[in-house]
Structure 1
């Protein structure tokens, strides 16, 4: 059988995973410490110069069931949802999520990082330390001198090469209808000033209309003599001898290298092993290595190397509820691309290649609002929400309850009605109270794990998305391009309900039209709908939490796995608590911070 890579037997540092955080850490260390010899083992394919990765408008292609650039995970039935097998995917390619995500430039609040430091004892992980790292990583081309933004980093941010009708109208109508939620030119400034504002969504797209990912702007654009990144290499487990990580066991992944040998091989690490396979992958590697809950390891006859009860626990995401509406037939949307219309894509490629504008130069998401109840609105969410509000949000004015987002097109509905145009609303929860878990289900690396997403098991979460549906409904039906709801994809209200849709409503209502009122039965209909259709935002985190060991922590504030020398975890599995935004920015922050920590420990500086 063929051997796709020549992986030497010895390196100083070996990374298990080559996603966003891993590539940042590896490239910064390789630059700062040129005498180090570093290997990155990534299970997915390389992405260098590939049109489907660098072209923004093709992002949805990576979510296709046949995708070789994403790893899909399926939750078991959960008591909070009616859609038990919804898939969660994680980037499975060089650069990880940064190479396939939706490119939404959406950063957390300062208090999100401050919580990591003050509530969980992680010194050096507060906002005063993390914000400068995010500034260092970016060039905010929209306004480089803007407070808390960067002007010379490798990752560039613009509004993309096109702005759709839905974005402009959503900001205009939303800010007028929600009288105490005005327009703003800043939605990611880390402060309360970014909350309850309608704003245009920046994107991780550079001035040349190309995806701004870690793979191309930390790694492929530079030459490294001391760093090797190997694609299609899957790590089975970390090797631990006398309490010290000494290397990893790997094989060539059959999805990338079909004809390669599947024999297990070993690569040694003289200084450090860094597990960086993401929130979905890292806990599984640790468990296969004998690090985790004793009962789980015993079930699969894995010798216990270090018992850590927190491995695979604390799973968090941003549960999302999408609601589609029909749009005027002349509206610009992403529906043809969402349907996978190859003829349409072929037709718009020349425009993109000519001047980097049009459908392929954007993602169709141009407007959002990070919404938080004003004090006089809290009662609208009901008594089951009040405890959550008092404990989690009330004292933190920079924390939104959820993000309301408007999209030009509807991925789930465009294939069902190919002659229609859609606009879509998305409510995704910022700090879901519910928790899930993720553990190995066998020693077969290709087996779906024992995974429970845990969505909506806490009543505060369902109350939040119910309020979000009501808010979005009133804004959307006042948009000039609105042409009625897609009734089959909305709550089924009881006959005669005051909240029922008027089937004759085929266009926008008057701006001052009465708002819907809701009975208890109407609320129950919204709740059932939300449980049935909820999906992931692909923002998984927390499964190897950076917390004290007696609080089910897995790593300390220097990212060391408790009880094991020369072993760290550096990726989105380490956040002890959630961040309200798309997680790309936080993955960048973790990568930059991990590089700083490791370099200092090895006598260098990044």
Structure 2
């Protein structure tokens, strides 16, 4: 058996993980410090020049069973999600989530970053410092001079190569039904003006319809003499000697390099080890290195090097409620692509190759609203919601309760469905109250972790999604393409309830809104628990906050108690961010590059 890569025994910097943040940091440092030798070890495959990672419309294929570009984590079965086990995919390839995500340009609220600084004691992480990190990374092709956006960064933002009627109808209808929620051009300004407005949805897609991933725009577009980014290298643990990180142990991932030898190898780091394996991978690497909760380590037979009980705790996601409806057969949706119909793919490929147009040049999500209840609407959510609201969102007016949109198709396996056109109400909670955890089950890097996603364990999340279902239903039932609910995938109301109305044509704009009884609300809650899923926005498992509060890293990303060891990825946010988390990962990557560069003696 031959080794897939030739790896030196020593480098200056070694990265355990090659996802979004790692690629940004390594690229910035390799450019600034040409004499530094930098190694990035990624457990997944390369993405270089692969159509699956360049052409936007391929995004759904990365979630297919057997995908090698995503790692699938199965949570424990839970009564909170109707006895189900939820599956949470995470990017596992060079570029990480940036190479496989849905490319929604959905940025956070400014107070999200401010919270990291003021509530968790992290100077330098406020919106004032972090917005420039976002600007540095992007070229906002829609209007490069727009406030808070970037004009000359490596990642491009546009509306993509195709705009579908469903999104535009949602955008047109929304302000008419929600009369105090107008249309605005900007829904991503990181400010109060971006809340409760309907807006066109930008995408991490260039104007020539290419995915804006970090692998192709920070790494593959340059020739490096001092940077090696290697695929299929699974980091087992960080080597720690006398409380100093001195290197990592790794092996060649047999899921990527099937015939590679499986012996454990070591590479030394002269200056620093940066763990950047993502929310799901980073806490597992730390625990296999002896850094974590004592009981977890002892149960796995690993000696305790540094007791940090917060490792693997504080798991958060944005729970996602997708409610499908039948759409007019003449309306263009993405369902035929999702079903993999060969003729449709061939025509779409031809259009994309010609001029970047067609469904493969976009993600189909063309409009949205970041919705926050007004004071007069809060009674609709009921008394169970008040405590959560008062403690988290009431005094932060730039934070929405959820993101809501009309999706042109069901982005999932449709093998059990009739070959129809669909559209969905998509509701993503911005700040779920529920928490979970992720820990190793053994020292084996291939072993499945002990994972509890914690979805809906706090009832406030169910109430919020119940309201999101109602808002989405009222909007979609009035859209021109609406042809009725997809029965089994909707709440099961009592036949006598007015909420059980079966409409097969659009309701008039002035149609009365559906009134729900307490029993109807219970039916919606049961539906929410049965159908809620991940948005692939995992974060928080190596939180940046004080050690005594369960923190794992400080504001300079240093792991408490260990020198020359940092964590830099989406595992470090101490609290959630209202965004598709690619934006947050970019900001963390750019900030981490600046922090490390300063420690090495140069300002970026």
TM-score, normalised with respect to structure 2: 0.99
Note the 1:336-485 alignment, pairs <5 A: 336-412=336-412, 414-485=414-485
Provide the secondary structure at the position in 2 that maps to 1:508: coil
CA contact (8 A) 2:78 2:85 kept: no
- The answer to whether the Cα contact below 8 Å between 1:338 and 1:415 also exists between their aligned partners in 2 is no
Is the CA contact (8 Å cut-off) linking 1:368 and 1:405 kept in structure 2? yes
Question: Secondary structure of 1:375's match?
Answer: coil
Deviations 1:187-223 (A, max 9, x none): 1100010000111100000122100110000010011
- Taking the aligned partners of 1:206 and 1:514, their CA distance within structure 2 comes to 42
**Aligned counterpart for 2:594 among listed residues 580, 583, 596:** 596
Q: Which residue matches 1:64?
A: 64
For 2:106 and 2:260, the matched residues in 1 are separated by: 40
Aligned twin of 1:114 = 114
Segments ≥4 residues shifted beyond 4 Å: none
Q: Could you tell me how far 1:444 is from its partner in structure 2? A: 2.2
Query: 1:18-167 alignment to 2 at 5 Å?
Result: 18-82=18-82, 84-167=84-167
Distance in 1, Cα, partners of 2:24 & 2:266 = 24
CA distance in 1, matches of 2:539, 2:2: 36
Deviations 1:345-389 (A, max 9, x none): 122211110010001000111111100000111111010100111
For 2:50 and 2:582, the matched residues in 1 are separated by 20
1:261 is aligned to 261
Report the equivalent of 2:315: 315
Task: Provide the residue aligned with 1:587 in structure 2.
Answer: 585
TM-superposition CA deviations, 1:206-249 (whole Å, max 9, x none): 12210011000001001111000010000000000000000000
Displacement, 1:301? Answer: 1.2
1:170–1:406 CA contact under 8 A, matched in 2: yes
Is 2:301–2:442's contact at 8 Å kept on the other side of the alignment?
Answer: no
Q: Residues 193-342 of structure 1: matches in 2 within 5 Å? A: 193-342=193-342
Instruction: Give 1:447 shift.
Output: 2.0
What is the CA-CA distance between 1:446 and the residue it aligns to? 2.0
Distance 2:364 2:488 in 1: 23
Q: How many residue pairs are counted as aligned between the two chains?
A: 604
TM-fit CA distance, 1:83: 5.2
Task: Give 1:407 deviation, angstroms.
Answer: 1.0
CA-to-aligned-CA distance 1:550-581 (integer Å, 9 cap, x gap): 00000000000000000000000000000011
Distance in 2, matches of 1:331 and 1:44, equals 38
How far is 1:413 from its partner?
6.5
CA contact (8 A) 1:371 1:403 kept: yes
Q: Deviations over 1:314-372 (max 9, x none)?
A: 00000011001111101111101111223321222111100100010001111111000
When structure 1 is superposed on structure 2, of 564-573 and 456-465 the one drifting more is: 456-465
- Structure-1 separation of matches of 2:532 and 2:38: 41
Deviation at 1:509, TM superposition (A): 1.0
Unmatched 5+ stretches in structure 2: none
Distance 1:254 1:481 in 2: 47
Q: Is the 8 A contact 1:414 1:420 kept in 2?
A: no
Confirm whether residue 528 of structure 1 aligns to residue 526 of structure 2.
yes
Asked if structure 1 preserves the Cα contact closer than 8 Å seen for 2:77 and 2:86, the reply is: no
Counterparts of 2:443 and 2:64, CA distance in 1: 27
RMSD across aligned C-alpha pairs, in angstroms?
A: 0.9
Q: Corresponding residue for 2:571?
A: 573
Deviation track 1:429-454 (CA, whole Å, cap 9, x = no partner) reads 00000100000112222222110111
> CA separation in 2, counterparts of 1:414 and 1:285?
36
Q: Secondary structure at the match of 1:345?
A: helix
Cα separation, 2, equivalents of 1:605 and 1:592: 12
Distance, in Å, in 2 between the alignment partners of 1:599 and 1:359 is 41
Structure 1 unaligned regions, length at least 5 = none
Q: Distance in 1 between matches of 2:484 and 2:414?
A: 15
1:561 is matched with 559
Counterpart Cα distance in 2 of 1:271 and 1:385: 49
Distance 1:344 1:19 in 2: 32
SS in 2 for 1:238: strand
TM-score (norm 1): 0.99
Contact 1:368 1:403 in 2 (8 A): yes
Distance in 1 between the 2:343 and 2:445 partners?
A: 38
Aligned-partner SS, 1:23: helix
Q: 1:413 to 1:563 in 2, by over 3 A?
A: closer
Q: Which residue is equivalent to 1:496?
A: 496
SS at match of 2:266: strand
The question of whether the paired residues in 2 share the 8 Å contact of 1:47 and 1:53 is answered with yes
3-state SS of 1:184 partner: coil
Distance 1:52 1:325 in 2: 29
Deviation at 1:421, TM superposition (A): 0.3
Structure 1 residues 501-524: Cα deviation after superposition (integer angstroms, max 9, x where no partner): 22xx21101111111111111000
In the TM superposition, residue 411 of structure 1 has moved relative to its aligned partner by 2.2
Q: What do residues 445-495 of structure 1 show as CA deviations (whole Å, max 9, x unaligned)?
A: 222211011111111110000000001101101001111110111000012
Contact 1:339 1:411 in 2 (8 A): no
Q: Distance in 2 between matches of 1:81 and 1:429?
A: 16
Contact 1:324 1:413 in 2 (8 A): no
Give 1:417 shift: 3.0
Quick check: 1:234–1:253 contact (8 Å CA) kept in 2? yes
